[in-house]
Amino acid sequence: MLPRAIAVGIDTVLDRTVAPGYTRIGPAIRRHLSTWPADPEPDAMKGTVVAVTGATSGLGLATAEGLARLGAEVVLVVRDTDKGARVVREIQGRLPLAELHLARCDVGDLDDVRRFADELDAEHLDVLVHNAGAMPPERTESAQGHELTMALHVLGPVLMTELLRPRLGDARVVMVTSGGMYGQRLRADDPGYLQGDYSPTTAYARSKRAQVELLPVLDQRWGGSGISVHVTHPGWADTPGVVDSLPTFHRVTGPLLRDAEGGADTTVWLAATQPVPTGGMLWHDRRPRPFHLLRRTRTGEDERAQLWDWVRAQLDLPQGP
């Protein structure tokens, strides 16, 4: 085993050079370094209840199955309950003893998030994973008139967590972001993407940047209730979303992409590992990562506060915790 200082150096080089660290090469190397944490115990989630949004395919499905494999009772939060029922049967075919439930919610529709929170048949949740995502090919608005990626990746998850706080207790909240956010700065001045020509990849990355920039605010807001908040990015994974939204990228990088299980590994690990990891950090391959890699994307406190003021206004949230 290499000395820890050398292992840290190798891991950092993989991360900063992006492609080697984000593809399947990253975990293939990192798993052999002394910096790689131990896997959770086989029954680490026994007796816990978790909810995973966007759980019918890709990373969400892999996360739900990974947590069920560790013994959790899993609520799959989906838009399409027919598809969700098929996924439940698929998982139970592999894990006959898995305890799985379906709940319908369109996370981008704030009214539906409110209905979901009212109707959720769970007295408590130990883990809430915000995984639902989309990259519409043209500017699209949610039912409330918000640009869809911001509604789905920021407004919906914040509102859902706020409404479920009484049932979360000492829970872990995990938001799944994207490494693409490293190329974008925060646009608190234009959260609806009303300025300039619309780009699907830029809109997606901006909303993911917003997730990361709000992490300190949300960890402070919810941490007083005992909730720890984490953000993780999966690297480059071979998922239906990548195939549909980024066909050229998928065609070029396909042989090196992680499978969905590899992309979901850190999300599952964050949900299950003990002791509870420190909240307010961005994770990739089981290690904290920097919020910024480029000087031009760095965010000031005023910009972060401006974005949070906008989020609070859209959700009608109180100022305090």
CA distances to 122, 154, 224 from 98, rounded to whole Å, are 17, 30, 33
Q: Which of 22, 182, 193, 204 is catalytic?
A: 204
Could you tell me if 272 and 40 are in contact, meaning their C-beta atoms sit under 8 angstroms apart?
Answer: yes
- Whether 204 is catalytic is yes
The residues carrying an active-site annotation are 204
